Amino acid sequence: MIEFIFLDLDDTILDFHRAEAAAIRKTLHALNVEPTDEVVARYSEINDHHWKALERGELTREQVKLGRFHVLFEELGVGISASVAKSLYEKNLSMGHFFVDGAPKLLMTLAARYPLYLASNGTLSVQQKRIESAGIARYFKGIFISEELGVNKPSKAFFDLCAAQIPGFDPASAVILGDSLSSDVQGGINAGMHTCWFNPNGKTCGDIQPEFEISSLAQFAEVLKSLNGEKA
């Protein structure tokens, strides 16, 4: 039986890629760099590469925040301060929110039956403002952000710190739902929890094997029925 549910934030509850595109366009425009579709897409690639390196322990959080802009500006041949860009971008990213399709209904439905816990690798100040903007904090018994805990998903240490704050926590009775194989699914595996990969774009899973896979958030109800031994 499932007694605890962990949810990722970005691209599971809130549409990060949409927010990212809006924030980087606004940031580049303020820095007098034309935010073409190609430049925005390239920033997203660089950013994702840097965050994956953080998950593997190859970069620090500050190296991620600055390094993505160093690389982008070097490729564009512009002499703009990465530190200035970082500050502008984080400010822009923290303003407003976009929901993933079905996320508000999912939260309301799950919170009525289960204790929910949010687990995010994002920047603390940015995530706090986005969570506040979206009005979703009320659904969670605990909100765990890696910058505040001092360790990142998928490290077992991240989930150990979460578990220490949850009375009676048993990983065998917990499931994590998230869009990232390397962060959420691998993190759940490391922690001994059930795992469900939210894969709306039909990506291939590679070496990391989730226990369940869904393409829409509405399908998570069937996953819970299966884990709880209920009839579909």
Question: Is 8 an annotated catalytic residue?
Answer: yes
CB 214 within 8 A of CB 198: yes
Sign of torsion over alpha carbons 157, 158, 161, 165:
negative
* Strand ordering across the sheet containing 4-7: 142-145, 116-120, 4-7, 174-178, 194-198, 212-214
The amino acid occupying position 188 is G
CA-derived radius of gyration, the chain: 18
CA 8 – CA 118 distance, rounded (Å): 6
CA 163 – CA 161 distance, rounded (Å): 5
Check 8, 10, 11, 184 and give the catalytic one: 8
Structure tokens at 192: 């001994």
Within 8 A by CB and 6+ apart from 214, the residues are 196, 197, 198, 199, 220, 222, 223
CA 148 – CA 118 distance, rounded (Å): 13
Q: Please list the active-site residues.
A: 8
